[in-house]
Structure 1
Amino acid sequence: MSKTITIDGDSIPFEDGQTIMEAAAAAGVYIPHLCHHPEFTPHGSCKLCTVTVNGRACSACTFPAMDGQDILNNSKELNDDRRRITQMLFVEGNHLCPGCEKSGNCQLQAVGYYLNMLDNHFLHFFAPRELDASHPDVLVDQNRCIFCTLCVRASHKDGKDVFAISGRGINKRLIFNADSGLLKDTDLDVSDQAAHICPTGAILIKRTGFTQPIGERLFDHKDISETSLEQEQGDHDR
């Protein structure tokens, strides 16, 4: 007999070693997230994937699936909390969606739409953040970084460790592995996965902005729940 968990009343099978996120995705159940990626070790930093497991709040990307778990995912309380987290991510950075070349391909923006985020709710921090355009092919706009650490994990997998997170609170920053502190003096190559993994517009490839017209971008046609499940299931099939 296969082992199962229950998510919002539905019985979901799982394999030993799977997290709740992995089991849910394999069964076609979307759990909102931003810092999770199926190719990397779970980090649990964004907390969007928080679910209630037998009455206890847990991160679905890090918490193992275990037989008999009763899980709430799509509840009003959880989605209200996720909406607040998303709003905080917007006001802690400087996200100007109408003028951002990642608009329509941005996972943060798409999660906001999914959660029916209609305003920012909180006052903006307007944190002073820098832009590094020193690299010949890649630009980093700190204004849009949400500290998901996906670029850090991807660069480690690339064998280069170009990126790291430094500081705390309002002084938190994405930093680069170079004595000068500039991106141009790192080993980053435009072909590296770390240059393409960013879920927002913090890491951009130069000379490609708006080559794909607004209205023809990923989330202009697909809900993030659909694209996320396609990514998860595609990685599981490989």
Structure 2
Amino acid sequence: MTQTFTLDGREIPFEPGQTIIQAALAAGVFIPHLCYHPEFKPHGSCKLCTVKVNGRHTASCTYKAAPGLEVQSNTEELNGERRTLVQMLFVEGNHFCPSCEKSGDCQLQATAYELGMMSPHFDHFFPDRPVDASHPELLLDFNRCILCSLCVRASRDVDGKSVFALAERGIDSHLIVNAASGRLADTNVALEDKAVQVCPVGVILRKRKGFAVPIGQRTYDEAPISGHLPLAEEC
């Protein structure tokens, strides 16, 4: 007999060991997220996937599905909290969508649209972070990093290289390149690496590829992020 839990009044089937977000996405129900990836161990860092389970807030990427759970996700309260988190991400980094090569393919931008974000609300930090153009094929723009750690986990767990890492803590936390020089050119990163493919924003970019696909024809130009399902098998 198939086991189920209830998500926003809908019965969601799940397999033993699945988390709430895994079961929801497999069933075609979108839960906003940025740091979740089906190939990596759940991290729970972005908190966008927070839901209410039997009335208590929890990250749906780490909470195991169980029979009879009453889960709320698509509510005014939770979407308002998610919108605030996204607004904070926009002001903590330098995210200028009209001039960004990732516009239309950016999960942060698409999530902001999905949540109805109309303004950043908070004062911009305008951080002064470096741009690393040392690698012949790749460009790193640290100004756009949202600390999701996807590239860190991909490089460590999939590529087996540990090219990237997060340094410091709290507000001083930032992405670094694991090389004595701090330059991407002095690592063994390759274009086919998983770490190069998973960035949800515009930090890791391939050189000479910017704007190859015209604005209006990009991933989230054609359909909102909630329309790209099943996300359980995508970045």
Question: Where do 5+ consecutive residues of structure 1 fail to align?
Answer: none
Name the counterpart of 2:105. 105
Once the two structures are superposed, residues 13-69 of structure 1 have per-residue CA deviations (whole angstroms, 9 ceiling, x without a partner) of 111000000111111110000001111111110000000000110100110001110
Q: Secondary structure at the match of 2:230?
A: helix
Letter in 2 for 1:179: A
Once the two structures are superposed, residues 128-152 of structure 1 have per-residue CA deviations (whole angstroms, 9 ceiling, x without a partner) of 2111111111111011000101101
User: Are the equivalent residues in 2 in contact too, given 1:127–1:170 (CA < 8 A)?
Assistant: no
* Structure 1 pair 111–211 and aligned structure 2 pair: CA distance change class (3 A): same
Name the counterpart of 2:14. 14
Name the counterpart of 2:115. 115
Give TM-score, length-normalised by structure 1: 0.96
Query: Which runs of structure 1 show a deviation greater than 4 angstroms over 4 or more consecutive aligned residues?
Result: none
Name the counterpart of 1:76. 76
Letter in 1 for 2:194: Q
Q: Secondary structure at the match of 2:166?
A: strand
Q: How does 1:217-236 map to 2 (within 5 A)?
A: 217-227=218-228, 229-233=229-233
Q: How does 1:37-116 map to 2 (within 5 A)?
A: 37-116=37-116
Q: How does 1:119-138 map to 2 (within 5 A)?
A: 119-138=119-138
Cα distance in 2 for partners of 1:13, 1:234 equals 20
Q: Secondary structure at the match of 1:71?
A: strand
Q: Secondary structure at the match of 2:57?
A: strand
* Worse-superposed segment, 121-130 or 167-176: 167-176
Give TM-score, length-normalised by structure 2: 0.97
Cα distance in 2 for partners of 1:224, 1:85 equals 17
How far is 1:231 from its partner?
Answer: 3.5
User: Are the equivalent residues in 2 in contact too, given 1:93–1:143 (CA < 8 A)?
Assistant: yes
Cα distance in 2 for partners of 1:104, 1:42 equals 26
Q: Secondary structure at the match of 1:79?
A: helix
* Structure 1 pair 104–170 and aligned structure 2 pair: CA distance change class (3 A): same
Name the counterpart of 2:186. 185
Cα distance in 2 for partners of 1:105, 1:120 equals 19
Once the two structures are superposed, residues 77-116 of structure 1 have per-residue CA deviations (whole angstroms, 9 ceiling, x without a partner) of 0000000000000000010100001000000000000000
Q: Secondary structure at the match of 2:122?
A: coil
Give aligned pairs, total. 234
How far is 1:234 from its partner?
Answer: 6.6
Measured on the aligned residues, the alpha-carbon RMSD in Å equals 1.2
Q: Secondary structure at the match of 1:123?
A: coil
User: Are the equivalent residues in 2 in contact too, given 1:36–1:61 (CA < 8 A)?
Assistant: yes
What percentage of residue pairs aligned between the two structures are identical?
Answer: 59
Once the two structures are superposed, residues 125-178 of structure 1 have per-residue CA deviations (whole angstroms, 9 ceiling, x without a partner) of 112211111111111101100010110111111010100000123422111111
Letter in 2 for 1:192: D
